[in-house]
Structure 1
Amino acid sequence: MTPPNATSPFVGFFDTCEDGIARGWAFDQLSPNSVVRLHVLIDNQEVAQILCDAERSDVANMLDLARPYVGFEFHIPDEFIDGAEHTIAFRFPDRSAVPFYGAREAHDRKDVHTFFGYIQPTYQGYADGIKQGVLRGWVVQSHRGGPKKGGVTVCVTANGANLAQLKADRYRGDVAAVLGCDPNCGFEYVIPQRLRGSMPREYRVIVMPEKIELDGSPFVTSIANDQLETRLVDIADTIDALQKELTRLRTEIRNVIPQPGFNLGDYDNWARRYYADLRSRVAQAREQTPLKTQPLVSVLVPTYKPLMSDFEAAIESVIGQTYPHWELIIVDDGAKSAEIAERIDLYCKQDSRIRAITLKKNQGIAGATNAGMDAAQGDYTVFFDHDDLMVDVALEVMVRAAERTGARLLYSDEDKIDQAGYFSAPNFKPDFNHRYLLGCNYICHLTMVETKTMREIGLLRKEYDGAQDHDFVLRASEILKGDEIYHVPELLYHWRLTPNSTAVRIDNKQYAVQAGIKAVHDHLIRLKLKADVSSINELSIYNVQWKLTRKPKVSIIIPFKDQIEMTQRCVEAILEHTDYRNYEIVLVDNWSVTLESVRFTKTFSKRRNIRFVRIEEPFNYSRINNLAVATCNKSEFYMFMNNDVFVENGSWLSELIGEALAEPNVGAVGAKLLYPDDTIQHAGVAVGPAGVATHIHRAINRYDYGYIGRARLSHEVTAVTAAAMLVRADVFKKIGGFDELDLQVAYNDVDLCLKIRAAGYKIIFAANAIAYHHESISRGSDQTPEHEGRFLRETQTMQDRWGKQAIFIRDPAYSRFFATDHQPFFELVDPRRLADYPI
């Protein structure tokens, strides 16, 4: 190798520039044992100086050097790894150029090399699979072991065909918590309807442009959320494979396949349409029914070291309210950030409606909020977190609801928003539900309270820090009537999803969990109710175990017709697994004819707490239960139970009785029923015109939390199944029992519950009263030709009887945003169908 510049004492070459690393060598001919320092120029600007002290034995051997440490490696800085074209050059100490060895042609510049600023990242990710029709996963990228970032592009394929190209920028706080990476690294893709059916398909998720397949990919699955939809799609797939003359039939079948709607997997898209529609409805209401009064609303914002961008967005969301009559009280708790204090001061100068309170010493969330409560001058007070967002029509909607209803405490629905502006995780709430409130603070945001009432309730209490708002609402429920606490069924509040936000992190907030337990416990003491309160899996959801102060008599009524083996199993399970002793079992023999039934009757009639009632009439569920009730004169409660229900938890009846006695206006309590595979068959019933009645949380695992904890928490519902339902005897008689004329088989239990609620009583789902239900073994399915006509008539009866009733039009325990004719707590009603709700 010939030295490139005979006039310079420095010899060397710039060999390569690959994967963001430039390599070469250089030494000083006059001082071969010294280390040469090179100047590095990128885009003609010096960016660094480097030493040529790396081993290059190849050069030393070639040039017969005494020492091999003449090489260099230069890692191009990250700011130039941007995919753009750049130049790089090296200069000797005398500023002469280090020639580029790759410049082979005579016309090439020998001192400058052009490179593209790209290094293939290292990827880490996983295709989680498909759940409820949505493919989910995550992927992060990093360069040179640097920060792991989201925003990666992935391609989704099915059976080799491209389905979609996605940006992995959805919020995944769980991944960030484990990897310490950018939380906006997730992806979601709603599988199109044409791929939903029983036919399995191979799905792949591939990182682009490198075409690197994620871990967890490929996977083979079918998507069968709905039996009818699945069957129709299967037929369509079969038709596609037939000859051309079947085209007409294929088109006909596809025309009747339900069109895809909205669901939680596509919530962001739904939300954007909803918010546009909400603003339109508010504008229309503003024009047609102006407010009669213009009450001042005090918005309290306790502030403690928020991110500036989030804080500014929060305050701007108040300033941008369509309702102008508000005051914003910002409480700077401890003045820990000079930057925030300066911004608060600027806001106060810009808008006279904004006031600031500075606490010299940090007093915590309760103390800071109390300072704002003391300073509130409005007719109503709203509680607002320093890094969240209010929808621009929020205050206007709340004030209109207060004027329309006269409520003294109001709360709205809410959802979450991440840094990319993506909406997720909506909390669609029920109307005021005290039993649910004992299990969790479902009310949360947005809460507006009459200021006079707020002062009657009292300030927040520091001993409940972390659950201070839960304690406040519990205390409010002690002085307010149920109809004075109003649920505004509109989405008016966005929780901010950031790594430090309360909406994301609960793992290090066990103090809040303990505060919540104390808040519920102390509330029950004030109500003179005896119970043990504990956290469920160390989360801020609470199990309330009632202590029975008395044990009223219960008649467990079980109809049967033959099917002796199953009926006997049902009875023996009760006898073996019931720790509540004050009960009798009333076996209602609906005209059994087998010898086994005779033996069974004779054998079990000898038990002291078992008796039989024989009814020789055609099957009429309502009538046989009404006749059985007529024989139970001394019982305070009737426990209606199917003979295909098997209890295994000894406390099942104690749980039901505890719920029934906890409040004087509980009319009925339903159990949690499981299929034999440990998935949920019943956790309450929602009603509505579209589907009459639907079992909520059906088919999820028994240990799943369900929607906002409702599968694990006892709470008020609109109806429960009579397959395992406890009813107060006096209430049952008061409303006339089951309808044995028009609802002989179907919907009689839903109708009974609606009548109970219409009479002013509550229906409770008891999450801890658990049994297994082999559904419809005893009487068969309604989906058979011989039952179809009767089922349709009973369906029409429910529509005629309840179709125009408010409780049926909008189930108070089930959000109007969820569909009742599709998968509960998942399928969403098209926002365009919500326009008739009053604003």
Structure 2
Amino acid sequence: MNYKAFEFKLKKAKFLYTKYGISGIANKIKDKKKSYETYNEWFLDKAVSNKELDSQSKKVLKMLNKPSIEVIILQGNDEACNNAIVSLENQIYTEWKSVILEKEQCSEDYGIKYEYHNSFEKMILDKDKSIAEQIQNVARATVADIILFTRLDQKFAPNYLYELANSYIDKKFDVFYTDSDYILDGVHCTPDFKPDYSVDMLRSCNYIGNVFAISKSTFMNIEFIKNLDLEKVESNIYSILLQCCENANEIVHLPKVLVHSVKQNVDISVILKEEKKVLEKHLETINQKADIVVNEKYSVLDLKYQLKEHPLVSILIPNKDQVETLARCIESIEKSTYDNYEVIIIENNSTDEKTFEYYEELKKKGIKVVVWQSIFNYSAINNFGASYAKGEYLVLLNNDIEITSPDWMERMLGNCMRSGVGIVGAHLYYPDKTVQHAGIVVGLGGVAQNLYPGLDGKVGGYNNRVFTQQNYSAITAAMFMVSRKIFDSVGGLEEKLQVAFNDVDFCLKVAKAGYWNVYDPNVTALHYESKSRGKEDTPEKKLRFAGEIAYMQEKWRKILIEGDPFYNINLSMARPDFALDGIEKAL
């Protein structure tokens, strides 16, 4: 082990000690050695123990200024199920009251225990008024610090409210949510290990779910959209959640499975159509209009943001020989439906005479060819090419890319021109139509790795994330777009990273500057990877690669140690297919 690697491990150990203590580190080491046959086995091992509940109960007694919680319960798809009520009665944190919102007057007492009768209130929803607006009125009327939304059929762990209150005391969150799963015939299954807040993912689907909390102060500061006329409970909850999240400063995701749903047959197409209506109205309100299509196959909303302007796009393509490869790339660009762009070929040490003959043909089409006169350095080559660009937006594009979505530039621009967005990346396939890139997870495989390499191109993967527009910490520079302003503001690509991780480093710099990096699954291309560069198979290349790893570990040690916010700490860092840590198969 070299010194840099040893130093990184020491810093990781220090972080773990500060966060978990000696016993916590010991438990994590034990957990790393554990293996499980099923998710249910994993869950039962990780679920809060009686010993932990006793400890947390004692901490509750010592809490100062305990936040009060109002639990708003909506009737779910199975109105005979009273899981939420039983769950509340079993909570170790007792500073709560609840309102049950009924669709019609019901004599059902929901099996509420006598000692809890004063903790629950029933209210009938007016059929002639908006459900969402009535929910909002109930929430505004409460004197509680925190408003927790749930459905009647949802079950949550006995320490859910403790974790909720503890997080509020610690971080004064605006919105709070946890991981979840389903229970079928008494067995825990289908876990939902969520990322931290992802604005684009929430617009594509309600990945947070139907159990979440909002601070009263945040709720009171939001002017909600009116007259949505939504029938489904899920859609009404989504309308509140979406607007609260997009107005929040502190959104806390606790990566613990504390919520359990009952497996049911739900018409997701109806819910998606109503959520489409919510999203359209919301985007119109914030002046980010988009064309939205319900994708029933993958249970998501596909967004194509409308262009307000028609800016020049500069497409940068490094190239060394490989005439046929480059020609295929250029031909695919020429099929684009967007017309205001320039192409800049960055010639890099070609030796084949046919390459220079082809360049002359390209120049006649108005394509620029600039010459890089030094050794191969992907970062320096692209920075050099960018110095010749006239466009407001830059596209970094490998010469071995064949674009397959003609409206790719409009889609990328629509996202890139949104306030707060940094980089927009693409959904790349190998020539055999298996996945090459669907986002990058930092820390996966050591430093960073593409998700789902080799997955059947028609398969959606975990929670259909392959086909969900969402945010990632990093996106491959084989094909991405960024504004010239942002590119320059972060200093372009890091030239110390000659070959590997320069795109990851660039994305992390952009994210650190406060921007979202977006993966758009509807921007598609074939990537004939490795045709333009060889493998890491010589002593010199191995030494350079080791240096690049050390650079990333030093510069980005915080995210490498603490974990990628758009992944989940419960998932394996050894596999790129959303496998659960301890179970050797994809979820």
Q: Give the TM bin, normalised by the shorter chain.
A: 0.7 to 0.9
Show the counterpart of 1:379: 145
- From 324, 337, 355, give the equivalent of 2:120: 355
Partners in 1 of 2:552 and 2:462 — Cα distance?
27
Structure with higher strand content: 1
Amino acid in structure 1 at the alignment position of 2:300: I
Contact 2:67 / 2:144 at 8 angstroms: preserved in 1? yes
Q: Secondary structure at the match of 2:365?
A: coil
Q: What CA distance in whole angstroms lies between the structure 1 residues aligned with 2:373 and 2:236?
A: 60
- Structure 1 counterpart of 2:352, from 589, 594, 601: 594
Task: Give the counterpart of 2:566 among 813, 818, 825.
Answer: 813
Specify the structure having the higher radius of gyration (Cα). Answer: 1
> Counterparts of 1:360 and 1:440 in 2: how far apart (Å)?
26
Q: Which residue of 1 aligns with 2:307?
A: 548
Alignment of 1:725-764 (within 5 A): 725-741=480-496, 743-764=497-518
From 399, 411, 416, the equivalent of 2:177 is 411
1:206 is aligned to none
The equivalent of 1:432 in structure 2 is 197
| Cα distance in structure 1, aligned partners of 2:425 and 2:438 | 8
- How far is the alpha carbon of 1:304 from its aligned partner? 6.7
- In structure 1, the partner of 2:159 is 393
Residue equivalent to 1:688 = 443
Aligned partner (choices 83, 86, 98) of residue 328 of structure 1 = 98
Q: In structure 2, what residue type is equivalent to 1:607?
A: K
Amino acid at match of 2:394: Y
Question: d(CA) in 1 for partners of 2:54 and 2:285?
Answer: 41
Secondary structure of the corresponding residue to residue 686 of structure 1? strand
Note if contact 1:268-1:423 (Cα within 8 Å) is conserved in structure 2: yes
Aligned residues: 548
Out of 283, 297, 301, the residue aligned to residue 69 of structure 2 is 297
Deviation at residue 520 of structure 1 after TM alignment: 0.6
CA distance in 2, matches of 1:801, 1:703: 37
What does residue 620 of structure 1 align with? 377
CA distance in 2, matches of 1:731, 1:290: 48
Alignment partner for residue 656 of structure 1, among 382, 403, 412?
412
Distance 1:359 1:553 in 2: 56
Residue 672 of structure 1 aligns with an amino acid whose one-letter code is H
Deviation at 1:524, TM superposition (A): 0.7
CA distance in 2 between counterparts of 1:373 and 1:712 reads: 35
Change (3 A) 1:721 1:305: closer
Listed one character per residue, the Cα deviations across residues 651-683 of structure 1 (whole Å, up to 9, x for unaligned) are 11211111101x222111111100111111101
1:505 and 2:266 aligned: yes
439-448 vs 765-774, greater mean Cα deviation: 439-448
The residue number in structure 2 matching 1:267 is 39
Question: 1:761-780 alignment to 2 at 5 Å?
Answer: 761-780=515-534
Q: Distance in 2 between matches of 1:262 and 1:362?
A: 51
When residues 448 and 650 of structure 1 are mapped into structure 2, their CA distance, relative to the original with a 3 A threshold, is same
Q: Distance in 2 between matches of 1:304 and 1:284?
A: 30
> Within 5 A, what are the aligned runs for 1:708-727?
708-727=463-482
CA contact (8 A) 1:414 1:446 kept: no
Report how far residue 784 of structure 1 moved. 5.5
Q: Tell me how far apart the structure 1 counterparts of residues 502 and 64 of structure 2 sit (CA, whole Å).
A: 44
Kindly report which structure 2 residues correspond to 1:227-306, keeping only aligned pairs within 5 A, or say none.
266-276=38-48, 280=52, 283=55, 287=59, 291-303=63-75, 306=78
CA distance in 2, matches of 1:523, 1:749: 33
**C-alpha spacing 1:415/1:390, structure 2 compared with 1 (3 Å):** same
Alpha-carbon separation, structure 2, partners of 1:572 and 1:317: 60
The structure 1 residue matched to 2:454, chosen from 699, 703, 717, is 699
Aligned AA (1:321): Q
Q: d(CA) in 1 for partners of 2:51 and 2:165?
A: 15
1:697 maps to amino acid: Y
Deviation digits for residues 184-211 of structure 1, max 9, x if unmatched? Answer: xxxxxxxxxxxxxxxxxxxxxxxxxxxx
Name which of 278, 297, 309 aligns with 1:519.
278
Residue of structure 2 equivalent to 1:671: 426
Structure (1/2) with the larger helix percentage: 2
User: Displacement, 1:456?
Assistant: 4.0
Alignment partners' CA distance in 1, 2:252 and 2:329: 43
Amino acid at match of 1:752: F
The separation in 2 between residues aligned to 1:282 and 1:591, in whole angstroms, is 68
Shift of 1:329: 2.2
Amino acid at match of 1:648: T
Provide the rounded CA distance (Å) in 1 between the counterparts of 2:121 and 2:486: 55
Structure 1: how far apart are the matches of 2:50 and 2:449?
27
Mapped contact 2:293–2:302 kept (Cα < 8 A) = yes
Query: Which residue does the alignment assign to 1:91?
Result: none
Quick check: 1:332–1:356 contact (8 Å CA) kept in 2?
no
Contact conserved, 2:493 with 2:506, CA < 8 A, in 1?
yes
Distance 1:532 1:397, change over 3 A: same
Distance 1:747 1:281, change over 3 A: farther
Structure 2 counterpart SS, 1:791: helix
* CA shift in 2, pair 1:377/1:365, >3 Å: same
Residue 119 (structure 1) aligns with: none
Pairwise CA distance, 1:262: 5.4
- Closer, same or farther in 2 for the Cα pair 1:371/1:626, shift >3 Å? closer
Q: Secondary structure at the match of 2:70?
A: strand
Letter of the 2:508 counterpart: L
Contact 2:469 / 2:520 at 8 angstroms: preserved in 1? Answer: yes
**Cα distance, 1:763 vs structure 2:** 0.7
Give the 3 Å change call, closer, same or farther, for CA 283–731 of structure 1 in structure 2: farther
Alpha-carbon distance in structure 2 between the residues aligned to 1:287 and 1:523: 41
Taking structure 1 as the reference length, the TM-score comes to 0.61
What is the CA–CA distance in structure 2 between the aligned matches of 1:285 and 1:796, rounded to whole Å? 44
Letter in 2 for 1:598: F
Which residue matches 1:569?
A: 328
Aligned counterparts of 2:297 and 2:100: Cα–Cα separation in 1: 33
Residue in structure 2 matched with residue 193 of structure 1 by the alignment: none
Which letter maps to 1:581?
D
Shift of the alpha carbon at 1:526?
0.3
Scaled by the length of structure 2, what TM-score is found? 0.86
Distance 1:829 1:612, change over 3 A: farther
Write the distance in 1 (CA, Å) between the matches of 2:551 and 2:181. 37
Q: Secondary structure at the match of 2:181?
A: strand
Deviation at 1:436, TM superposition (A): 1.2
> Whose RCO is larger (CA < 8 A, sep 6+)?
2
Which residue of 1 is the match for residue 168 of structure 2? 402
Report if the CA contact (8 A) 1:689-1:808 is conserved.
no
**Which residue of structure 2 lines up, in the alignment, with residue 43 of structure 1?**
none
1:454 aligns with 2:215: no
Alpha-carbon shift at residue 819 of structure 1 (Å): 2.1
Partners of 1:513 and 1:538 within 8 A in 2: no
Cα deviation for residue 332 of structure 1 reads 3.7
Query: How far, CA to CA, are the matches of 2:54 and 2:537 in structure 1?
Result: 44
The Cα of 1:385 is off from its aligned counterpart by 1.2
| Residues 37-56 of structure 1 mapped to structure 2, 5 A cutoff | none
Give the superposition deviation at 1:278. 11
Task: Give me the whole-angstrom Cα distance separating, in 2, the residues matched to 1:433 and 1:665.
Answer: 12
Question: Whole-Å Cα distance in 2 between the matches of residues 824 and 724 of structure 1?
Answer: 22
1:485, CA displacement in angstroms? 2.6
Structure 1 unaligned residues grouped into runs of 5+? 1-258, 831-839
Distance 2:173 2:536 in 1: 44
